[in-house]
Amino acid sequence: MNWMQATHFFRPRLLDSMQGYDRHRWVQDVGAGMTVGVVALPLAMAFAIASGLKPEAGLFTAIIAGFLISALGGSRVQIGGPAGAFIVIVYGIVERYGLANLILATAMSGVLLFFMGLFRLGNLIRFIPVSVVIGFTNGIAVLIMLSQIKDFLGLKIASMPADFFGILHALWHHLHSANLAALLLALASLSLLIGWLRMSRRLADTRLQAIGAVPGSIIALVFATLVTWLLSLPVETIGSKFGGIPSALPAFEWPAFGWDSARFLLMPTLTLTLLGAIESLLCARIADGMTGDRHNPNQELMAQGIANFVTPFFGGMPATGTIARTVTNIKSGGTTPISGMVHALTLLAVVLVAAPLAAHIPLAALAAILMFVAWNMGEWREFLLLRQYRMPYRVTLLAVFFLTVVFDLTVAVEVGLMAACLTFIYRISSLSRCESVGQRDHPILAGHQAHIQAWRVYGALFFGAVKLIEDIEDKISTPVVVVDLKNVIYVDSSGADALMNLIDTCRKKEVRLIVCGLQHQPLDIARRSGLLLHLDGQLEADLPSGLQKAIGLLAPQGQ
C-alpha cells in the first residue's frame, strides 16, 4: 500500500481543515478551546471519581485522549474525553477485576474500535434502533444519579457496591450517617447550576451574554470550594479523599495484570467498544446537524481506538465523544479540530499550574454537578410519548431501560438488539404477501381457471416469509401454476430454497410451474443458487393452444 492509498483509509479531518485556515479562525478556535477546557475541568474529575478512580484519571484522559481524538478524528468539532456513559461500566470493572484489568479492557476496546473503523464498519452503528439508544441512555442517567447519592448526602460508606440492589442496600443502611453540611452544600450547588442555566438563557441575546457564557459548573465549583474553605465545613474534599491531584502528567506504565482475571474481560471490553462507538458517532451526528458538516465515521472510530489504546497506559480511563462539550465548542465558535486540541492543552496548563487548588474541592459539589449532567443526559420526555408508538417500540425501550438499571448494560443492549431484530423480522414478514390472480385481474384467464392457478408475491421473500411459498404448495390443484415475482424486491437463500421446494413439489405432482418477473437482486440470487437451471426445459407443446396463449399473456417475461 503506497502513501496515497494509506491516506485514503486514514485521513484525519485536521488535514482538510487547514485549507484556507487564517488568523480569524485561529482566534475563534483558541477561544472556543479554552472555554471547553474550563467546562471539561470539573466534569473530568467528577466522572473519574464516580467511576471509582482518582480525579486525575479523568483529567489525564481529557488531556491525552481529547488531544488525540481531535487531531486524528473524522469530525471537525467533536470533543473527546471521559463521559458519563462509562461510569457504570468502569466502576463495575474496577470493583470486580481491579485497576490493572481496566487498563487492559480499555486498551483492548481501543484495538477493536480501530479495526471497526479500518474495516469501514462505522455506518453499521447507525442501524442500532432509537429505542435501544434511548433506553440505555436513560438507564445510565438513573444509575449515575443513584451512584452520586452517597456524596450528595455525605454518607460514610467505605466502598460502594457495583450492582443496583447492592447500591440500594448500602445507601439504606448508611442513611443515618448523612452529613447535613454536605447535603446543604450539594443542594446549594445544584440550585446554583439550575439558576445559572436559566439566567444564561435570558442573557443570550443581551449585552451581558458574555457573563451567561461562563459555564455554570465552574460557578458552582468555585462557590462550593470557597464556602468550604472559608467556613471550614466538615465535608469530604478531593484532598481529604485522594490527597489532591499531581501537578504533572504521569509516565508510561505497563500494569501488572493476570490472565486469570483478564480472560473474563471479553464482555466488558465489548461493552466499552459498543458504547464508545455509539456515543462518539451519535455525538458526531448531532454536531453535523448543528454545523451542516458531515463527519467520517470510520476515521472517527480509528481515532477513538488510538486514544483508548494509548490513554490507559498513562493513567487514563475510557474516552469517547462528549455531547455537552462538543455543543459548547460549537456554540463558542470552534470550527476545526484545533479547538479540541486547545481544550486539551488548556486542561494541561491547569494541571501544571493550579493542581494544588483542587484539593479544596468538595465531593458534594461534584456530586451535584453529576446529578445535573445526568438529568440533562436523559431523554425523559420519551417516557411520556410512549403512547404514540407501537407496542414493540415501547417494550424494547422499557426493557432496555429496566435491564440497564437493574442488571447490566451489556445484557440490556443484547436483549434490546434481539427484540428490535425480532420486531423488524415480524414487521417485514407481515408486509410481504401473496395474492391469487383471478379472472377479474386477468380476463385472459376466463375459461382457463380450471387449468391455471396464478399467484402474485409482494415484498421480501426471506426466511421470515417463506410460508407464502409453502401455502402455494398446499393449494396446487391445476396442471399449470404461474408465480409472478415482479413485485418482490429481495430474496434470500431461504426464499430461494423455498422456490426450489416448490419446483420439486410441482414435478412430483406433474404440474407445470412458471416463475416470472425475476429482476435485480431476486434474478441475481436465482442465477447464483441454480434456480434458473431448474426452471429450464419445461415445454408447453403438450398444452392446448388456448392455454399456451393465456400463459404467454399472463407471464410475458417467461422465466
Indicate whether 508 pLDDT > 70. yes
Q: Judge whether residue 259 has pLDDT over 50.
A: yes
Looking at the structure, tell me whether residues 193 and 282 fall in a common domain: yes
**Mean pLDDT across the stretch 394-407?**
88
Residue 450 confidence class, pLDDT cut points 50, 70, 90 = low
Question: Which pLDDT value is given to residue 189?
Answer: 93
- Domain stop point among 367, 397, 431: 431
Of 60, 58, 53, 64, the residue nearest 99 (C-alpha): 53
User: What was the pLDDT predicted at 6?
Assistant: 47
- Let me know whether 160 and 278 are in one domain: yes
Q: Are residues 454 and 360 in the same domain?
A: no
The string of pLDDT tens digits covering residues 302-346 is 999 999 999 999 989 999 998 888 988 888 888 999 999 999 999
> Do residue 49 and residue 151 come from a single domain?
yes
Mean pLDDT of the chain: 84
- Can you give the pLDDT at residue 449? 57
- Interacting residues of 357 by C-beta distance below 8 A, sequence separation 6+: 225
Examine the domain organization and report whether 171 and 215 are in the same domain: yes
109 assigned to some structural domain: yes
Question: Can you give the C-alpha Rg of the chain in angstroms?
Answer: 31
pLDDT confidence of residue 258: 63
Does residue 20 fall inside a structural domain? Answer: no
What secondary structure does DSSP assign to 151-164, as a single string?
Answer: HHHT---SS--SSH
Domain assignment of residue 396, given as a range: 384-431
Q: What is the pLDDT of residue 311?
A: 95
**Among 280, 327, 272, 330, which Cα is nearest to 73's?**
280
Does 542 have pLDDT greater than 50?
Answer: no
> 415: helix, coil or strand?
helix
Portion of the chain with pLDDT greater than 70, in percent: 89
Instruction: Give 438 or 146, the one with higher predicted confidence.
Output: 146
Task: Looking at the structure, tell me whether residues 414 and 517 fall in a common domain.
Answer: no
Does residue 559 lie in a domain region? no
Element (DSSP H or E) covering residue 181: helix 180-202
Query: Would you say residue 536 has pLDDT above 80?
Result: no
Same domain for 343 and 226: yes
Q: State how far the Cα of 53 lies from the Cα of 94, in Å rounded to an integer.
A: 8
pLDDT band, very low/low/confident/very high, at 56 (cuts 50, 70, 90): very high
Q: What's at 330, amino acid-wise?
A: I
The answer as to whether 87 is a domain residue is: yes
**pLDDT tens digit string along 469-503?**
888 888 888 888 888 888 899 999 888 899 899 88
Q: What angle do CA 106, 111, 112 make, to 5 degrees?
A: 95
CATH number at residue 454: 3.30.750.24
State yes or no: pLDDT of 555 exceeds 90.
Answer: no
Is the model's pLDDT at 8 over the cut of 50?
yes
Note the pLDDT of residue 440.
54
In a domain, 318, yes or no: yes
Condensed to tens digits (0 to 9), the pLDDT of residues 226-255 reads 999 999 899 999 888 888 788 777 878 777
pTM for the whole thing? 0.77
Residue 420 lies in a domain: yes
- Whether 315 contacts 57, CB under 8 Å: yes
* Cα 424 to Cα 430: distance, rounded to the nearest angstrom: 10
User: Would residue 229 count as lying in a domain?
Assistant: yes
| pLDDT for residue 533 is more than 80 | no
257 band by pLDDT with thresholds 50, 70 and 90: low
The answer to whether residue 256 scores a pLDDT higher than 60 is: yes
pLDDT band at 443 (very low <50, low <70, confident <90, very high): low
DSSP state of 356: G
What pLDDT score was predicted for residue 358?
A: 82
Residues 181 and 199 in one domain: yes
**Is residue 69 pLDDT above 60, yes or no?**
yes
If pLDDT is split at 50, 70 and 90, which confidence band does 407 have? confident
Is residue 112 left, alpha or beta, with left meaning phi > 0 and alpha meaning psi from -120 to 50? alpha
pLDDT at 446: 53
Average pLDDT over residues 420-439: 81
Chain mean position to CA 203: 34
The predicted pLDDT at position 106 comes to 94
So what's the pLDDT on residue 3? 45
Mapping DSSP to helix (H, G, I), strand (E, B) and coil, where does residue 322 land? coil
Predicted confidence (pLDDT) at residue 47 exceeds the cutoff of 80: yes
Say yes or no: 289 and 363 in one domain: yes
Cα–Cα distances in angstroms (integers) from residue 307 to residues 51, 252, 348, 454, in the given order: 19, 14, 16, 61
116 found inside a domain: yes
pLDDT given at position 108 = 92
Report pLDDT for 415: 84
Same domain for 36 and 77, yes or no, is yes
Regarding predicted confidence, which is higher, 253 or 198?
A: 198
Q: Is the pLDDT of residue 409 over 80?
A: no
The residue that leads in pLDDT, 192 or 21, is 192
C-beta of residue 161 within 8 angstroms of C-beta of residue 170: yes
Rounded alpha-carbon distances, angstroms, from residue 112 to 5, 116, 174: 22, 6, 41
Lowest mean pLDDT among 13-17, 260-264, 277-281, 321-325: 260-264
For residue range 153-184, list pLDDT tens digits in order: 999 887 787 778 888 999 999 999 999 999 99
Looking at the fold, whether 534 and 476 belong to one and the same domain comes out as: yes
Q: Are 183 and 154 in contact (CB under 8 A)?
A: yes
What is the pLDDT confidence band of residue 441, given thresholds at 50, 70 and 90? low
Q: Are 322 and 81 in contact (CB under 8 A)?
A: yes
| 56 vs 243: which has the higher pLDDT | 56
Domain count, the chain: 3
Give DSSP secondary structure letters for 245-266: --SSPPPP------HHHHTT-H
- State whether 123 and 233 are in the same domain: yes
